[in-house]
Structure 1
């Protein structure tokens, strides 16, 4: 991929639905939900809350009880916006296929574990569905290439793909990026970004379950499913920095380790990555999940004339000059941003101008992968290598619900190979 093309796909501003009258403002959008865990439940609640004339009509998950809990909760909150017949609740590894083949479904919300996002989204676009896909878009280079195929397919079919990168629709993030673009801090010199928090959930293995069943239940802790913290969680900050920089980084060099994870978890506790962007602009990036440690989540961009602070959550943004005087600030609500991405998606469908942003989020997801691979192997990793040359494909070639999977293998720098 040429550098010019990379820049062109990453410099776009917040992707809102086009202005103008809708081609069919009264059209009901019928939604299918794939993945009924916490994030899937949050996504469908946001969509039903912010949008008029939408209806949940189908669901899929490997666990029927999750479908039933989500259905009960959404029915209580949203009444007639929820109409899921028992025949449209699908269970098992292939349950999502039933949602994609359902002619009554216009839009699918994909909140399966991240390792499934590339293939689920590509199959959804091939089925002619509009898509909302949670972040990250991919957890390895093989998945990234599938994402590019899905993006191109959606453009060809004129169907939407919106992703769960809500900060691109949060007003204080949009405002800060506009200020930076307009020269408020001068030329960008470098940046610092941290996603440091305490522990993360873990589920003990139940008696009698297969490797596949256990890993899917405990998906956060397996790299083929989650991509480690840097992909699954910290990709929000990486996406923000790609947006600010207007490009993907050229190289990544990093380190990290594990101290507190359970024995069968493949996750590291922390990673520290130096990303070098075009123009020799260095992003010092850190993510960490260690109980009892100090949390810090946000982004700082250093410019020749000032400094921009873009806080995570609803902490707002501000810009100071080189003397520390505040020259701009803006508040923002992450709850509103979560809803806005779903409104923009539905508005774009009704306007006949569907948003397609899968490539942008795939680039940010691969940037996270690039940092993880650099830390895991102890090598410097280039964008050219990870996007074009790497053969890394973490998804099991034969996934069987009752089958075996390889023993968890934690990366060891110097021993883990660059593939």
Structure 2
């Protein structure tokens, strides 16, 4: 696991500075917006050209949603580390109803390799959809912003603290340029969540004293790929989900959604975390170096707690949910229920939640793209990167606590110099982690491992 020092110009903000960043950068955010819009639609052409970077299932779904926004849009370029992933995505998009007329990706704009993102971004597009493994997210975002592109990026926005800081630095430039930035934390675009969060912040259950949130499921859909014939770096990227430098561990890659909701309700990220976790069932060498369960107690500045569970073990109780408990009742947040003490229950959700990759006017996965593309066309403010960074670092903070077995403060996590990732653009380069002689990768041991 690499541990590199950061470039000197990337200063480490305190928690107060981190939270204040959006307000200090607001002045001047609109500067250059009109010029950007004129550049994006030169000659009066209102067609927005899109590049997809990362052609897995989520990237393909994001492309469908971007191409389903109102107004003329085209998928102009695609990039992936692997040719089979790009081809599979292109075939799936072409087979999706109503998509073919909007797909303009000839062979010369199909880019393959670890550096393919640069070529796609430089191909004459207006918007970049960034959906490769999260470990590469800061580098891809940084390059897109330098190129003056609007961005939709999937969550999480990084897998380590240096990556969070790198992304925030790039986002300062994005704000100065007036670029529009969306992040795939779609609950912020779910009308039920939006309504319920406002009601809870308006004291529908009194002062909230603690939260419970869960991402407990069976094994993920992603299955390990065999090592045969692959370089070590290629093998790890093929199996990105099971390496913490690429996915952040499942607490960062998936549980971030639930942590994000609790932070949203609280209005700020936590100040500390302590917890425990490990590998109880998913212990084979093919599962890289991530845990299969985490439990964290987060503490907010006002003393409120967030009790967080995420587990990926078959045969156990499953739950993907958030709950808020107040002085005058409680709420099943994801279920859209508010239960004030001594009053009738209020139900806001009348049907099930949408699935990734689906479209429709009320679908939050679609609505997050609708909002981004509307902002691009209108020139209105739209930047979700800082919230994405808050929520990503909250998840990383929890991972630091479970990996180390210690209480970790927010400012410690934010200042961490432990760099997990690599900017390598050649499959023959060294991977950030190496297996031992038996093929097992080093797994964090609480009380022993350095995790921040």
Structure 1 length-normalised TM: 0.92
Aligned equivalents of 1:397 and 1:358: distance in 2? 21
Name 2:194's counterpart in structure 1. 174
Name 2:304's counterpart in structure 1. 281
8 Å contact kept, 1:10–1:242: no
Deviation at residue 369 of structure 1 after TM alignment: 0.3
Q: Please say if 1:245 is aligned against 2:271.
A: no
Q: Equivalent residue of 1:320, what SS?
A: strand
Deviation at residue 323 of structure 1 after TM alignment: 3.9
Superposed structure 1 runs of 4+ greater than 4 Å apart: 2-11, 22-26
Aligned equivalents of 1:213 and 1:241: distance in 2? 36
Aligned equivalents of 1:60 and 1:170: distance in 2? 30
8 Å contact kept, 1:139–1:369: yes
Name 1:14's counterpart in structure 2. none
In structure 2, stretches of 5+ residues that fail to align are: 1-12, 24-29, 31-36, 356-362, 436-440
Task: From 353, 364, 367, give the equivalent of 1:337.
Answer: 364
Name 1:413's counterpart in structure 2. 446
- How many residue pairs match? The answer is 404
Name 1:263's counterpart in structure 2. 285
Deviation at residue 293 of structure 1 after TM alignment: 1.1
Name 1:210's counterpart in structure 2. 231
Aligned equivalents of 2:69 and 2:235: distance in 1? 35
Q: Please say if 1:199 is aligned against 2:219.
A: yes
Aligned equivalents of 1:60 and 1:51: distance in 2? 24
Q: 1:396 to 1:73 in 2, by over 3 A?
A: closer
Aligned equivalents of 2:307 and 2:45: distance in 1? 48
Name 1:400's counterpart in structure 2. 426
Name 1:294's counterpart in structure 2. 317
Deviation at residue 164 of structure 1 after TM alignment: 0.4
Aligned equivalents of 1:152 and 1:10: distance in 2? 9
Deviation at residue 398 of structure 1 after TM alignment: 4.6
Deviation at residue 329 of structure 1 after TM alignment: 2.5
Deviations 1:260-319 (A, max 9, x none): 2222421111000000011100111110000111101101101111211112xxxx3110
Aligned equivalents of 1:404 and 1:183: distance in 2? 53
Aligned equivalents of 1:285 and 1:231: distance in 2? 12
Task: From 60, 77, 83, give the equivalent of 1:64.
Answer: 83
Q: Equivalent residue of 1:143, what SS?
A: helix
Aligned equivalents of 1:48 and 1:26: distance in 2? 17
Q: 1:416 to 1:319 in 2, by over 3 A?
A: same
Task: From 325, 348, 362, give the equivalent of 2:375.
Answer: 348
8 Å contact kept, 2:113–2:425: no
Deviation at residue 331 of structure 1 after TM alignment: 3.9
Deviation at residue 221 of structure 1 after TM alignment: 0.3
Deviations 1:323-353 (A, max 9, x none): 4730352346434000011110100000112
8 Å contact kept, 1:345–1:354: no
Cα RMSD of the aligned pairs, angstroms, is: 2.1
Deviation at residue 50 of structure 1 after TM alignment: 3.3
Aligned equivalents of 1:367 and 1:119: distance in 2? 20
Deviation at residue 73 of structure 1 after TM alignment: 2.4
Name 1:368's counterpart in structure 2. 395
Aligned equivalents of 1:277 and 1:162: distance in 2? 26
Deviation at residue 359 of structure 1 after TM alignment: 1.2
8 Å contact kept, 1:226–1:232: yes
Q: Equivalent residue of 1:330, what SS?
A: coil
Deviation at residue 215 of structure 1 after TM alignment: 0.4
Q: 1:68 to 1:237 in 2, by over 3 A?
A: same
Q: 1:326 to 1:10 in 2, by over 3 A?
A: farther
Task: From 47, 69, 73, give the equivalent of 1:28.
Answer: 47
Name 1:219's counterpart in structure 2. 240
Q: 1:175 to 1:166 in 2, by over 3 A?
A: same
Q: Equivalent residue of 1:254, what SS?
A: strand
Q: Equivalent residue of 1:50, what SS?
A: coil
Deviation at residue 96 of structure 1 after TM alignment: 0.6
Deviation at residue 7 of structure 1 after TM alignment: 4.8
8 Å contact kept, 2:225–2:238: no
Aligned equivalents of 1:140 and 1:192: distance in 2? 24
8 Å contact kept, 1:131–1:161: yes
Deviations 1:37-91 (A, max 9, x none): 1110111011112333111010000111222222222223312111111100000
Name 1:15's counterpart in structure 2. none
With 331-340 and 405-414 compared, the bigger mean Cα shift is at: 331-340
